[in-house]
């Protein structure tokens, strides 16, 4: 059957096969592929704001007492995360020095002691230390969970 079709087509030199090019001459052109859409990077969500942000040298006891009392009124079984924040890349080598980390930890420990002095069980007060880029000085942040 295919041999017969080829013989017929060879005998008719002025004829062409009917295909998509017969009805659409642009079908031979390469397809136009649109460029991929550009998606802007969405910054990560910073998370919940801290209950308190304390700078070194500020009087902290009254502020901590008021914030802890307010948090415990809202949620009696609240857990406090006390985080000593230090600037990332502050030493010449790009790391936090031991003295900076030690003083930030001491400040965070004083805040944690103030919280437990108000009757919060020590198991509900957690201490952390963390470097953060863009931070200009040390600070202590208190978060609630």
pLDDT in tens, 25-38: 777 788 788 887 77
**Alpha carbons 29 and 61: distance in angstroms, whole number:** 77
Nearest to residue 52, comparing CAs of 140, 119, 129, 125? 140
| Predicted confidence (pLDDT) per residue in 35-79, tens digit | 877 766 656 567 889 999 998 877 778 999 999 999 999 999 999
Residues 139, 111: contact at Cβ < 8 Å? no
Pick from 105, 107, 89, 109: which is nearest to 97 by CA? Answer: 89
- Mean pLDDT of all residues in the chain? 80
Tokens of 80: 């406090």
pLDDT of res. 42: 58
Which domains are delineated in the chain? 52-144 (3.30.1330.60)
Assign 97 a pLDDT band (cuts: 50, 70, 90).
low
């Amino acid at each position: 059957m295919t041999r017969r079709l080829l013989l017929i087509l060879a005998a008719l030199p002025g004829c062409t096969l009917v295909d998509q090019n017969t009805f659409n001459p642009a079908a031979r052109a390469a397809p136009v592929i649109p460029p991929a859409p550009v998606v802007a990077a969405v910054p990560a969500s910073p998370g919940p704001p801290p209950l308190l942000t304390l700078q070194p040298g500020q009087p902290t006891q009254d502020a901590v007492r008021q914030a802890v009392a307010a948090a415990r009124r809202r949620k009696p079984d609240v857990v406090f995360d006390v985080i000593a924040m230090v600037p990332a890349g502050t030493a010449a080598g790009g790391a936090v020095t031991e003295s900076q980390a030690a003083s930030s930890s001491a400040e965070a420990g004083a805040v944690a002691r103030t919280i437990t002095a108000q009757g919060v069980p020590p198991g509900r007060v957690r201490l952390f230390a963390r470097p953060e880029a863009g931070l200009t000085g040390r600070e202590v942040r208190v978060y609630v969970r």
